[in-house]
């Protein structure tokens, strides 16, 4: 897309005339022009491609490169299960929803198909031509059937007969054995047969589902591995011995395939009396949703792929022929093998801020000062320890906490259970509908209820996504509140993998706001006025729009004006239009957007003052930061919310201010590192593609994550 955009007369409320540096008035711009917006799903696909690109980065350890390749597979699975399924549903129901970009779902599906086919083919080429040969050079091999030695063939045969065959249920296809209902993303084989069986049947086709209880990647014993670590795929074992499943028949061909189904839940909370009970039923049906994609081995004959497509009601454009295993994500077993530290990122030990290093009483520390933690460089342990201390402290009366993604057997859950059993008033707002964590959250809710905690499932039709914990403690001067607010989930595992902020505070006004938000979640009543907190779906969007407009007013008045936003996604049209207006007014805007970005930067007369970068690296960039220069008195918020319609309009989210120059400078310094990154960053171009940055040859590269590891962890 050309960076020049033809200006035309805009509606009265689209944008006010803007002045350039010389004071001349520019023609109005139509901010509703669909050429100014990038399609949501196409932008998400671009993010997945950037993840795949990491598999080619020679500076990244080999097993980590494999991991990126497998994360691409996992991301694409979810992309088809949710996003593609949603578009297909709109087309099927003749209820097409067209966003600001103006692209209809049918056209979007065609564009997605073209890009996805090209990238998945590229993924397998990277695996076969780069990753697997390099793994083999380090003694890690996935041994193909054609490469098995005599000893390995004997071992595979024994393993198949002892461990695999007893669990396999081959299904011959005939009028009394119709095509089976296959589970979402399960490994299956279509087998061509010749001959007549004991009952006189000669349909010629059978389906062999691979047992889900068996591993897909099986290590060979050292004594037959000829040095190094040899693995064999379950699919290779079944291929080699499939004839044993059909005695007396001739096997003409055996080909693996995998079906991806719609995995989005269709539960309407308005129509159910017991959300938890209804959700349990929906989780089962998720495994058998409508078909959206068929993956087959690339040597499968056309007549068989055509047969499978007809069975699943799919078209040729939804067929993906792959040169390798159809279930690549199962190779994580190799990627996470701890026996190869030299092929993985070096370990590090999260640090603690000076105020917490020798603290025995966290309430004393937080009572004196706010504590800001940047995970994973700084430990998540203080958050868990504060909750543990609260559970044991006889002076603590109540604990309230939101839980979005938290394992039922986590340290957080243990502490809440201990607190409830100790007689504390424990209230947990558990969001059951956190996608793909529903089952875990149901277990968590059940465990907390059994311990005596009050469990609330949030608000009908609105997900509770805010990350809040409130502790009320009786002290000499009465009840004192302590709060934790974060940008990430209460998940100790993710706290080692995701970059997120935590704020521990006893600020009276801020804790009062958190208390009011919990009151809104658990009780009923009008919207309560907040002193410091911005919260969706009530004040967050308007608050952000006001902050952006204020920065634009500073620029219009000739004052330096700057906005830095670090988020995971940007799609909300009102926010994008506000940023365009600010850019036209002269505000310098830097957006650090890990994933989806529907805004087009670099359009002359509209967004030439906006730069968008995405950073992908060792850690998942998950923190949300809103920074506004505010004429020399910065306004800084950390938040649970991305700038998407769902977050700002249909979720409970919280953005909390960071006050005090010292803490604000910490956040600003981290943002500056991201903006200086020329190693892990890619810049969004006006046409929607991303350009990977490269440091000048004569200068050392800057890498934000590596620099923060060095600064905070000394590694």
Q: Which of 490, 492, 500, 634 is nearest to 568 (CA)?
A: 500
Q: Has 287 been labeled as part of a binding site?
A: no
Q: Has 280 been labeled as part of a binding site?
A: no
Which pair of tokens denotes residue 115? 């890009």
Q: Which of 378, 420, 379, 413 is nearest to 397 (CA)?
A: 420
Question: CA-CA-CA-CA torsion for 603, 595, 487, 496, nearest 10 degrees?
Answer: -140
Q: Has 95 been labeled as part of a binding site?
A: no
Please state, in angstroms and rounded to a whole number, the distance separating the CA atoms of residues 290 and 304. Answer: 20
Distance from chain centroid for Cα 609: 29
Q: What CA–CA distances, in Å, run from 416 to 188, 266, 388, 518, 695?
A: 43, 31, 8, 17, 48
Q: Has 405 been labeled as part of a binding site?
A: yes
Active-site entry in 39, 239, 465, 554: 465
User: Tokens 């940023």 belong to which residue?
Assistant: 579
Taken in order 704, 710, 712, 715, is the CA torsion positive or negative? Answer: positive
Question: CA-CA-CA-CA torsion for 295, 301, 307, 312, nearest 10 degrees?
Answer: 0
Please state, in angstroms and rounded to a whole number, the distance separating the CA atoms of residues 490 and 502. Answer: 10
Residue 373 contacts residue 379 (beta carbons within 8 Å): yes
Q: Has 594 been labeled as part of a binding site?
A: yes
Catalytic residue check, 465: yes
Q: What CA–CA distances, in Å, run from 534 to 471, 500, 640, 641, 656?
A: 20, 19, 11, 10, 7
Q: What are the residues facing 402 on neighbouring strands?
A: 429
The three-class DSSP label of residue 37 is strand
Instruction: Return the HEC string of 393-451.
Output: CCCEEEEEEEECCCCCCCHHHHHHHHHHHCCCEEEEEECCCCCCCHHHHHHHHHHHHHH
Q: Which amino acids are annotated as binding site for ATP, given as ranges?
A: 75, 498, 594, 622
Residues that are catalytic: 465
Q: Which amino acids are annotated as binding site, given as ranges?
A: 75, 405, 435, 498, 594, 622
Q: Which amino acids are annotated as binding site for Mg(2+), given as ranges?
A: 405, 435
């Amino acid at each position: 897309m050309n960076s020049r955009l033809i200006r035309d007369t805009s509606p009265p409320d689209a944008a006010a005339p803007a002045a350039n540096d010389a004071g001349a008035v520019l023609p109005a711009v139509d901010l509703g022009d669909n050429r100014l917006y990038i399609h949501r799903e196409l932008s998400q696909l671009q993010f997945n491609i950037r993840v795949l690109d990491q598999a080619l980065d020679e500076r990244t350890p080999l097993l980590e490169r494999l991991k990126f390749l497998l994360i691409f597979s996992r991301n694409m699975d979810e992309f088809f299960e949710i996003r593609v399924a949603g578009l297909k549903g709109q087309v099927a129901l003749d209820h097409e929803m067209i966003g600001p970009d103006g692209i209809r779902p049918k056209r979007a599906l065609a564009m997605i198909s073209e890009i996805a086919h090209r990238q998945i083919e590229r993924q397998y080429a990277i695996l076969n031509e780069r990753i697997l040969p390099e793994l083999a050079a380090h003694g890690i091999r996935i041994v193909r059937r054609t490469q098995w030695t005599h000893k390995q063939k004997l071992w595979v045969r024994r393993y198949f007969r002892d461990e695999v065959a007893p669990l396999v249920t081959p299904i011959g296809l005939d009028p009394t054995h119709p095509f089976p209902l296959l589970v979402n993303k399960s490994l299956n084989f279509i087998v061509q047969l010749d001959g007549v069986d004991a009952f006189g049947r000669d349909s010629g086709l059978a389906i062999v589902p691979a047992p889900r209880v068996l591993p897909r990647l099986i290590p060979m014993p050292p004594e037959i591995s000829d040095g190094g670590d040899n693995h064999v795929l379950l699919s290779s074992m079944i291929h080699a011995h499939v004839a044993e499943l059909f005695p007396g028949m001739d096997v003409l061909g055996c080909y693996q395939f995998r079906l991806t189904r719609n995995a989005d839940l269709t539960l309407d909370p308005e129509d159910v009396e017991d959300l938890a009970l209804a959700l349990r039923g929906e989780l089962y049906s998720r495994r058998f949703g409508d078909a959206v994609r068929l993956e087959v081995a690339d040597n499968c004959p056309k007549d068989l792929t055509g047969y499978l497509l007809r069975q699943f009601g799919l078209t040729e454009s939804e067929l993906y022929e792959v040169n390798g295993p159809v279930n690549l994500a199962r190779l994580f077993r190799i990627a996470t093998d701890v026996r190869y530290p030299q092929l993985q990122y070096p370990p590090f030990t999260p640090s603690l801020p000076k105020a917490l290093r020798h603290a025995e009483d966290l309430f004393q520390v937080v009572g004196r000062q706010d504590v800001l933690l940047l995970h994973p460089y700084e430990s998540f342990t203080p958050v868990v320890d504060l909750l543990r201390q609260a559970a044991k402290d006889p002076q603590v009366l109540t604990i309230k906490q939101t839980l979005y993604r938290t394992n039922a057997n986590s340290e957080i859950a243990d502490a809440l259970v201990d607190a409830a059993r100790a007689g504390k008033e424990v209230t947990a707002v558990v969001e059951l509908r956190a996608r793909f964590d529903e089952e875990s959250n149901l277990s968590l809710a059940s465990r907390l209820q059994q311990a005596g905690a009050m469990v609330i499932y949030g608000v009908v039709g609105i997900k509770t996504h805010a990350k809040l914990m409130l502790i009320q403690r009786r002290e000499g001067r009465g009840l004192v509140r302590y709060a934790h607010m974060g940008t990430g989930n209460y998940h100790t595992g993710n706290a080692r993998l995701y970059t997120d902020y935590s704020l521990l505070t006893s600020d009276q006004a801020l804790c009062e706001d958190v208390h009011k938000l919990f009151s809104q979640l658990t009780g009923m009543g009008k919207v309560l006025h907040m002193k410091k907190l911005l919260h969706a779906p009530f004040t967050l969007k308007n608050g952000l729009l006001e902050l952006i407009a204020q920065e634009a007013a500073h620029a219009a008045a000739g004052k330096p004006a700057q906005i830095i936003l670090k988020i995971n996604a940007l799609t909300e049209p009102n926010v994008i239009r506000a940023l365009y207006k600010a850019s036209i007014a002269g505000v310098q805007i830097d957006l650090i957007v890990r994933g989806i970005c529907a805004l087009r930067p670099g359009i002359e007369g509209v967004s030439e003052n906006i730069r968008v970068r995405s950073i992908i690296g060792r850690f998942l960039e998950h923190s949300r930061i809103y920074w506004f220069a505010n004429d020399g008195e910065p306004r800084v918020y950390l938040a649970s919310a991305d700038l998407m319609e769902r977050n700002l309009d249909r979720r409970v989210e919280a953005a909390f201010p960071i006050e005090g120059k010292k803490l604000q400078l910490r956040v600003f310094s981290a943002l500056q590192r991201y903006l200086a990154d020329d190693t892990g960053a890619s810049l969004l171009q006006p046409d929607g593609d991303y350009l990977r940055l490269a440091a000048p040859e004569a200068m050392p590269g800057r890498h934000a994550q590596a620099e923060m590891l060095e600064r905070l962890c000394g590694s």
